[in-house]
Amino acid sequence: MELNAGAGGNGSHKTASERDEVAALESLQFTDEIRRLMSAPGGDNASSFTALLELPAPQAVQLIQSPDSAKLIAAPAPAPAPNVDDFRGSFQFPFNCGLIDRAARFSVFAGDGNINGNNKSNSPEPTSYNSSASLQKPVKNEPAETESSQPLVSDPTVENRSIKRKDREKVKGSSKKSKTSAKESSEDAEKLPYVHVRARRGQATDSHSLAERARREKINARMKLLQDLVPGCSKISGTALVLDEIINHVQSLQRQVEFLSMRLAAVNPRIDFNLDSVFTAESGSLMDSNFSGMVIPMMWPEVQLNGNRQQYPQQLHLDAFQQPVSGREEVCNSYLTPENSLLSYDSSGNSASLHSNQLKMEL
């Protein structure tokens, strides 16, 4: 009784606030749904449900939690538009699925005869943008009271619509709802494989700009990585200057490669890189050693020896390989040229000097 009176009394108020909301958010569909609901012979629950839609979140929460909802229904709903905007900013994606489920469950729970009618009319309703925000809080707290064993009437459709609703959360009352929902209705409700781009205030929200914005953000993320990689780029702000630095860096690296190759070409014109046998043997030791510096002493003496004496290197290889190898590193060290400075590459240089002396003797 009380509720009905409250509902009736609030009917006009609801329509007023509802009209405001509709005017603010441009959703005619919502108006029709609301009107249909209000005129439905459903009782308290239906009207309270629709009332929930108008009320801002905190009041709606109280509404749910308190058993006598009539008093709270009577509370005037301030302009829902700003609250909706706030919700939009803080809206979370995984939040939404559960909300839709609970919205469906709530409508199921709300009544019997009207349920189906309400459910059918409510399920397209949640897809409309206006109800989503205000439905968040009330529907969230609702499972605390409803039995979760309530089977969902239209679970997969609700899931699909939850996807649509998510998209509409992003889209600020755009006219391309059908396009985006068609795009996304094929996606899974649990995990959408594409990136979520939240529409910020004052930004265009059609699918083209959304995709462009996602692309932009991807590019910017990669540019950040580049900035970290290139020294001296992290302080610079602005894409053009960062690109400048990157170009300079790449150019300098390429020039270094050229100079170094020129130096190598000039160093030893008679170098004969005959490293066949060495490589097959060294590939194993290469994996063992931890320092790339060790590779150089390994290979360089080979290069030099091959350049100067053709026959000795082979003997040396065989000797070196046939030596009883306590550790791989010693084998590597045995290849060392007499230059002791090369030993600085090694970590275990103690036995190296001994081997270099042996090499000297052999040479």
Partner 1 sequence: MRPCDSLKREFLKKWMMGLQSCSSSNKDMSILERKEAIKLSADVAMACARNGATCWSRALIAAGAHSKHGAPREYSNKRIRSKKILKRSCRIRIRRRKRSKCSAQVGRASSISKGLVRQRTRILKSLIPGGESMDEASLVEETLDYITYLRAQVDGMRSLVDASELDR
Q: Name the residues that contact partner 1, by CB under 8 A.
A: 215, 218-219, 222-223, 225-226, 228-230, 238-240, 243-244, 246-247, 249-251, 253-254, 256-258, 260-276, 279, 283, 286, 290-293, 295-297, 299-300, 303-304, 337, 339, 341-342
Query: Which of 104/298 has CB closer to partner 1?
Result: 298
How many angstroms separate the CA atoms of 225 and 151, rounded?
48
Give min distance, CB of 315 to partner 1, in A: 20
**164 contacts: CB under 8 Å, gap ≥ 6:** 127, 177, 180, 181, 184, 185
Query: Which of 190/276 has CB closer to partner 1?
Result: 276
How many angstroms separate the CA atoms of 201 and 132, rounded?
18
Give min distance, CB of 49 to partner 1, in A: 45
Give min distance, CB of 300 to partner 1, in A: 4
Give min distance, CB of 158 to partner 1, in A: 36
Give min distance, CB of 193 to partner 1, in A: 17
Query: Which of 185/289 has CB closer to partner 1?
Result: 289
Give min distance, CB of 335 to partner 1, in A: 12
Q: 337: closest CA among 314, 319, 318, 362?
A: 362
Q: Which residues of 241-277 are buried (b: 16+ CB within 10 A; e: fewer)?
A: ebeebbeebeeeeeeeeeeeeeeeeeeeeeeeeeeee
CA atoms within 13 A on the CB side of 157: 13
How many angstroms separate the CA atoms of 317 and 296, rounded?
16
Query: Which of 29/274 has CB closer to partner 1?
Result: 274
Q: What are the two backbone dihedrals, phi and then psi, of residue 286, each rounded to the nearest 5 degrees?
A: -60, -40
Give min distance, CB of 342 to partner 1, in A: 6
Query: Which of 174/337 has CB closer to partner 1?
Result: 337
Q: 243: closest CA among 255, 253, 233, 231?
A: 233
Q: 19: closest CA among 3, 35, 39?
A: 35
User: Structure tokens of 60?
Assistant: 């709606």
Query: Which of 13/249 has CB closer to partner 1?
Result: 249
Give min distance, CB of 279 to partner 1, in A: 6
CA-angle at 123, arms to 117 and 126, nearest 5° = 135
Query: Which of 135/342 has CB closer to partner 1?
Result: 342
Q: 109: closest CA among 173, 45, 162, 65?
A: 45
Query: Which of 264/318 has CB closer to partner 1?
Result: 264
